[in-house]
């Protein structure tokens, strides 16, 4: 019986950050190294937005939610300062990033559609959704 696992060692050039860890549970054991650009790409693909749209001054719900999600992921995965995260997400102040992370946590706890979308992104980024 052939091995059904997909591995970057078997398929050179395969990017494991785009694979869902729920479908490939062995990926949870490996440490995922991910960059800010990859986070923007993953979230943008899920929301159907470009990086320019995400960091724009737009107040559309998709843009705002994606900025909240990116700020939370970068703070959690990379432990950057709030000021550095603010510069990445469109030149925001550190207090705006604090508000953004708190808003994300509130939305994640109350909005089931938002939570499901975030869990899909978390699976690609390598964050355990139970620890949010």
pLDDT of residue 79: 85
Q: For residue 4, tell me if it sits in a domain.
A: no
pLDDT tens track for 81-127: 999 999 999 999 999 999 999 999 999 999 999 999 999 999 888 88
Q: For residue 47, tell me if it sits in a domain.
A: yes
Q: For residue 58, tell me if it sits in a domain.
A: yes
Largest CA distance in the chain: 56
Q: Is 84 exposed, middle or buried (0-12, 13-18, 19+ CB in 10 A)?
A: middle
Neighbours of 110 (CB within 10 A): 9
How many structural domains is the chain composed of? 1
Domain with 124 in it: 16-131
Q: For residue 8, tell me if it sits in a domain.
A: no
pLDDT of residue 1: 46
Sequence-distant contacts of 9-16: CB under 8 A, at least 24 apart:
none
Q: For residue 6, tell me if it sits in a domain.
A: no
Q: For residue 9, tell me if it sits in a domain.
A: no
Which CATH number covers residue 90? 1.10.1750.10
78 has pLDDT over 60: yes
Q: For residue 2, tell me if it sits in a domain.
A: no
pLDDT of residue 24: 67
Spatial distance between the Cα atoms of 82 and 91, rounded to a whole number of angstroms:
11
Least reliable range by pLDDT among 8-12, 63-67, 78-82: 8-12
Percent of the chain predicted with pLDDT > 90: 62
């Amino acid at each position: 019986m052939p091995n059904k696992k997909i591995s970057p060692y078997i398929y050179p050039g395969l990017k494991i950050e785009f694979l869902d860890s729920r479908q490939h549970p062995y990926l949870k054991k490996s440490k995922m190294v991910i960059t800010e650009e990859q986070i923007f790409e993953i979230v943008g693909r899920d929301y159907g937005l470009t990086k320019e749209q995400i960091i724009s001054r737009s107040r559309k719900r998709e843009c705002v939610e994606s900025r909240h999600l990116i700020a939370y992921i970068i703070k959690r995965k990379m432990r950057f300062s709030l000021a550095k995260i603010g510069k990445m997400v469109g030149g925001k102040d550190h207090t705006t990033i604090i508000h953004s992370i708190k808003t994300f946590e509130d939305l994640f706890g109350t909005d089931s559609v938002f939570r499901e979308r975030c869990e899909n992104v978390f699976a690609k980024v390598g964050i355990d959704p139970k620890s949010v």
